[in-house]
Structure 1
Amino acid sequence: MSDLRRTRILAAVAACLTLCAGLGVRGAVDGDVAKYAGDALYTVLLCTLVVLLAPATRPRVAGGIALLVSWAVECAQLTGVPAELAERSVVARLVLGSTFNAPDLLWYAVGAGLFLLICAVVPRPGGLRHA
């Protein structure tokens, strides 16, 4: 099995675990802890999806892309379009949110940092560089 294929498999497993963790936190805890943990895990999930789609992507690049997408989705909430879509679909509500909240921007950065910390600890297949 190629290193990129192994990386893709690990990314898929990590995405599933992250999704479960995010939904689990929201189901088990209330208030700000659940909300901000969910925000951070949203960005971790996006990081894993970037690696799943492009397994040779370096963690810093994956983290940066995921952070920019997270911020873009949050800022899009200022338009009201995500809120309108969220009224029609649970999936849209989970993916796009509905209401802009400035502190979320910080928690997305925390999620990107968490992803980088995990990448620093977990070796990548074939010695792909972490830088």
Structure 2
Amino acid sequence: MVAAVLTVAAGLGVRAVAGGEFAKCAGDALYTVLVHTLVVLVAPRVRPARAAVVAAALSWAVELFQLTGVPDDLGRRSTLARLVLGSTFNPPDLFWYLVGAALAWAVHRALRPGAAAAPVC
């Protein structure tokens, strides 16, 4: 749960400090990091690679769902729907979701119990 809160805080922090394209790309990547975190919360024993694939697939599904126009309609009526589903399909977002999945995989792998410690020097 702490990881989910930290991820949301990171997303809000990026938006507060940076703007434009950097904040948008970072937000897309952090969206998938959050999905990865939620996957781990639901299935704590999931392996990092599987969690990353599921997170990327769910992020892509949401992005592709935007092609229907339904998320845009829901987002006009609900802030939560807009935050979760977005509104407009943007092909580059698909790449940034993969970046987020890779980042989440690396952190999850490093933090897994029994993970090899990194060399000091």
TM (norm. structure 1) is 0.84
Which residue of the partner structure matches residue 94 of structure 1? Answer: 83
Give the CA deviation at 1:24.
Answer: 1.6
TM-score (norm 2): 0.90
Write the distance in 2 (CA, Å) between the matches of 1:37 and 1:16.
Answer: 16
1: CA distance, partners of 2:5 / 2:76: 26
Cα distance in 2 between the residues matched to 1:120 and 1:56: 12
Give the gaps of 5 or more residues in structure 2: 116-121
Aligned to 2:104: 115
Preserved contact between residue 51 and residue 105 of structure 2 (Cα < 8 Å): no
The superposition leaves residues 19-76 of structure 1 with CA deviations (integer Å, 9 ceiling, x where unpaired) of 1111221222111101010000000000000000010100111100010000000000
CA RMSD of aligned residues (A): 1.5
Distance in structure 1 (CA, Å) of the matches to 2:22 and 2:66: 21
Partner of 2:32: 43
Residue 119 of structure 1, CA deviation: 2.2
Gapped regions of structure 1 (runs ≥ 5): 1-11
Cα distance in 2 for residues equivalent to 1:84 and 1:16 = 28
Which residue in the other structure is 1:6 paired with? Answer: none
Counterpart position of 1:80:
69
List 4+ stretches of structure 1 deviating above 2 A: 119-122
Counterpart secondary structure, 2:89: coil
CA distance in 1, matches of 2:78, 2:16: 19
How many residue pairs get aligned? The number is: 116
One-letter code of the match for 2:73? E
- Corresponding residue for residue 28 of structure 1: 17
Match of 1:64 in 2: 53
